[in-house]
Amino acid sequence: MRNSFLLVALLAFSVAVQAQKKSALGFSFNVVDFETPNAIKNTSFSDVLKGKDWYKLNNKDYGFSLYYWKGLTKQLDLSVRYNGLFNSDFTSTNTKDKSDYSNELEASLHAYLLKPSSIVNPFITAGVGVGNYWSGDFKGYAPLGVGLQFNLLDEAYVFLQANYRASFDNDKVPNNLFYSLGVAQSLLTKKEPKVIPPPPAPVVVDTDNDGVVDSLDACPTVAGLASLQGCPDKDGDGIADKDDKCPDVKGLAKYGGCPIPDTDKDGINDEEDACPTVPGIAKYKGCPIPDTDKDGINDEEDACPTIPGVAANRGCPEIKEEVKKKVDYAATKILFATGSYKLLASSNKGLDEVVKILNETPDLKLNIDGHTDNTGKADKNQILSDNRANAVKEYFIKKGIAESRLTAAGHGQDMPVADNKTAAGRQKNRRVELKLNY
């Protein structure tokens, strides 16, 4: 099992030295497999895999390499290596006969896939080599393969390599597989950077002792700040006193070192003031409170900011007394079926008069308030007053009055206008009130 693991590791990759125009000497341990390619040729690849002899180390030959490596470019190296191989002799039928020692000499080019500084760098390799084997004659071959290099700080390298070596005379020397694990040491050492002694310190003069030499000090006789070329800044606004029109007050360079002005003196500086020449308030960006309807009452005090009105009516138009009387009279004529919220037809004439008033003045709104006497339970009276107020509201809506102009609410028996102990008083308390407003 251990032998099998070692063979698989050697089969994995081959590493070459990344020279980057450096030279290196190295040594490697090699395994050569003559039998597997021959077996594939005589049978098939699948048969060889099934036979499981391809990874057994007792069917392999072993050897070593001494090599010289030279970088040609950042991505291309040249290697020249001597291989010593303790191998078994072959007859003309490529079967092992006896052990022997062979010499090989080969030269290869190695093309890298990553940058020279990469710790792990794969490459491909191709070359040519010769070896004297069992007969003593030199036979040629071409190594083709892949490799993987591990760069140890550009000083040493560990590499794995796997090559298929195609024989130029396959009858004498069969094609074979070559696996190598080795290390290399760079022949060039890193040069230590040349240390240049610092020049002698120049003689400096700092008259005001502020840490800024006179040659660089815009105010050489007055202590100041290095950030202001040695000049002082009394107000700390980042503008040197010599350039500051307000040296005792913090300001901005835009205003010569003075604060942002407030022309209208309303406490809002001109850069934030939408009305810099007219006093105003922050809520309106320095402008006065607006008066949208130009009635002399500002919007914050105007209950009708978009409709000109009078101060006596909080900025809304004054509703004429005769109009109020018509509406009040119409309210007295609103009648319902007993115990119900069904409007009686006798109510229509007065309600239509109110519809006419609302149509003539589109800005007017109407509050509809329903009330009952104290006959019956309070909760039922509340529901009845709500329903009666909404019945009047629905009448107006059907007549074309926008719902947004109408507000309906029931107040039950809680707001009597007469004594509920008498029939006359209870009748007055059963009512719907109509109130115009803006």
Say what the alpha-carbon torsion angle 387, 388, 389, 391 is, to the nearest 10 degrees: 80
Structure-token pair, residue 45: 């690849």
What are the tokens at 369?
């308030």
pLDDT for res 5: 35
Fold of 321-437: 60s Ribosomal Protein L30; Chain: A; (3.30.1330)
> Is 354 in contact with 327 (CB distance < 8 Å)?
yes
In CATH terms, 2-186 corresponds, of 2.120.10.70, 3.30.365.10, 2.40.160.20, 3.50.50.60, to 2.40.160.20
Q: Where are the alpha helices (DSSP H) in 27-101?
A: 35-42, 45-51
User: Which of the four pLDDT bands, split at 50, 70 and 90, describes residue 18?
Assistant: very low
Of 358 and 203, which is predicted with more confidence? 358
Within 10 angstroms of residue 62's Cβ, the number of other Cβ atoms is 13
Phi and psi torsions of 282, nearest 5°: -60, -35
pLDDT surpassing 50 at residue 350? yes
Residue pair 122/159 in contact (Cβ under 8 Å)? The answer is: no
**What is the phi/psi pair of residue 226, to 5°?**
-65, -35
In this model, does residue 21 exceed pLDDT 70? no
Mean pLDDT on 1-27: 47
Number of C-beta neighbours around residue 327 at 10 A: 21
SS3 assignment, position 317: coil
Candidates 304, 322, 323, 325; CA nearest to 313 is 304
What percent of the chain stands above pLDDT 70?
Answer: 89
Domains 2-186 and 321-437 share a fold: no
Domain boundaries, the chain: 2-186, 206-250, 321-437
Which of the four pLDDT bands, split at 50, 70 and 90, describes residue 147? very high
Residue of 81, 54, 87, 78 lying closest to 66 (CA atoms): 81
- Least confident segment among 94-108, 182-196, 216-230: 94-108
Query: At residue 281, does pLDDT exceed 50?
Result: yes
Q: Which of 98, 93, 62, 79 is nearest to 17 (CA)?
A: 79
Residue-wise pLDDT for 379-417, tens only, equals: 999 999 999 999 999 999 999 999 999 999 999 999 999
> With 50 as the cut, is the pLDDT of residue 221 above it?
yes
Residue 160 has pLDDT above 50, yes or no: yes
Q: What is the pLDDT of residue 89?
A: 53
- Give the Cβ contact number of residue 201 at 10 Å: 6
Distances (CA, A) of 123 to 14, 119, 162, 236: 8, 13, 11, 65
Mapped onto helix, strand or coil, the DSSP state of residue 179 is strand
Per-residue pLDDT tens digits for 32-70 = 888 888 788 778 777 777 776 666 777 788 899 998 888
Question: What whole-number distance in Å separates Cα of residue 336 and Cα of residue 338?
Answer: 6
Q: Which residues of 378-415 are buried (b: 16+ CB within 10 A; e: fewer)?
A: eeebbebbbbbbbbbbebbeeeebeeeebebebbbbee
pTM across the whole model: 0.41
Mean pLDDT computed over 213-238: 89
Q: Residue 373: pLDDT above 60?
A: yes
The mean per-residue pLDDT over the stretch 137-142 comes to 87
Question: Measuring CA to CA, how many Å separate 361 from each of 323, 355, 405, 438?
Answer: 11, 10, 11, 10
Instruction: Count CA atoms closer than 13 A to 109's CA, side-chain side.
Output: 7
According to the per-residue pLDDT averaged within each range, which of 23-37, 181-195, 215-229, 415-429 is highest? Answer: 415-429
**Structure confidence at residue 9 (pLDDT):** 36
Rounded to an integer, what distance in angstroms lies between the CA atom of residue 172 and that of residue 165? 14
Separation CA 304–CA 310 (nearest Å): 10
What residue has token string 């007219």? Answer: 278
Residue 93 has pLDDT above 80, yes or no: no
pLDDT at 159: 86
